[in-house]
Amino acid sequence: MRDDPSGGWNGSAEAWIRFVDAGDPNRTHLLDPVMLKLCGEVKGQRVLDVGCGEGRFCRMLAERGAQVTGLEPTPRLLEEARKRHPQGRYESGDAAKLPFGDGSFDLVVSYVALVDIADYRTAIREKARVLKAGGRVVLANLQPFATTSPTGWHRDKKGQKMHFPVDRYPDEYPNIARWKGIEIRQYHRPMAHIMRAFFDAGFNLREFLEPLPTPQALKERPDMADSLRVPIFVVMDWRKP
């Protein structure tokens, strides 16, 4: 994994596709409604989804009338995105070196992708570069405290969840996350570093949210009650002046 330039994504692509197809309540019940609301009216807008995976959120935005471009560095995921959305535009590329001209997009979306990007500061500057004046970045990401402990909850001897451990929070470092046959490298950064990277790139913060499950979501998926104890995602809306 240490020497894998894809951070494990090449070997985890098939498992990721199965995971998404099985339905992830964190996306369908927690993040999708918030992300779509912050994206707002996208009809006719030029939208870039950086780290689009198999293209799920691209398709959702395209159904709402957006002119979407998906960027994905993992060949198998890029292939699947093109297969599932033949009329869409999907490009291979590096988030830290976007293959697009200055001011090409009205909106850039990052849907739990920043955590996978090694050179995140450059990636954020690149988002600013390809946005037009007044354009926005709508970003969902793992809470930085959650990335200090990729193994998740600390449990008692009976297996009951006690608390979510946090350690080495002020540092920046990679971890290996494993679930559902997926094994990938993800990066821990303290929230202050992420915020500073956006401010240094010239962005203004418009919204900062920590999504919680709705009563309806809890009715359909009672297991999501853990998110009321520990919300593990943040969603932000940044504007380029």
Give yes or no for a contact between 220 and 29, defined as CB atoms under 8 angstroms apart.
yes
Beta bridge partners of 205: 238
- pLDDT at 1 exceeding the cut of 90: no
Between CA 145 and CA 234 the distance in angstroms is 11
Please give the pLDDT value at position 2.
59
Residue 7 vs residue 68, higher pLDDT:
68
Question: Residue 21: how many CB atoms within 10 A of its CB?
Answer: 11
Mean pLDDT of 108-122: 98
C-alpha to C-alpha distance for 136 and 35, rounded to whole angstroms: 13
Please state the rounded mean pLDDT for residues 93-109.
Answer: 98
The 10s digit of each residue's pLDDT in 142-157 is 999 999 987 788 999 9
Contact 115, 141 (CB under 8 A): yes
pLDDT band at 205 (very low <50, low <70, confident <90, very high): very high
User: What is the band of 235 on the pLDDT scale with cuts at 50, 70, 90?
Assistant: very high
pLDDT recorded at residue 150: 72
For range 159-163, the mean pLDDT: 91
Dihedral of CA atoms 155, 156, 158, 159 in degrees, nearest 10, equals: 0
- The helix/strand/coil state of 74 is coil
pLDDT at 65 over 60: yes
Give me the amino acid identity at 119: D
The number of angstroms, rounded, from the C-alpha of 154 to the middle of its chain's C-alpha atoms is 25
Residue 42's alpha-carbon distances to 17, 116, 187, 192, in angstroms, are: 26, 26, 30, 30
Give me the chain's average pLDDT, please.
95
Could you tell me if 177 and 183 are in contact, meaning their C-beta atoms sit under 8 angstroms apart?
Answer: yes
The fold adopted by the segment(s) 9-144+187-239 is Rossmann fold (3.40.50)
Q: How many CB atoms lie within 10 A of CB 97?
A: 10
CA 14 to chain centroid: 18
The model's pTM: 0.94
CB 187 within 8 A of CB 117: yes
Which one, of 198, 204, 22, lies nearest residue 110 by Cα?
198
Q: Percent of the chain beyond pLDDT 70?
A: 99
CA distance 69 to 52: 9
The predicted pLDDT at position 177 comes to 92
C-alpha distances in Å from residue 167, one per residue of 146, 150, 194: 10, 11, 18
Distance CA 194, CA 75 (A): 28
Q: Distance (Å, rounded) from C-alpha 67 to C-alpha 154? A: 44
Q: If you count them, how many residues does the chain have?
A: 241
pLDDT value at residue 3:
63
Tokens of 154: 């600390």
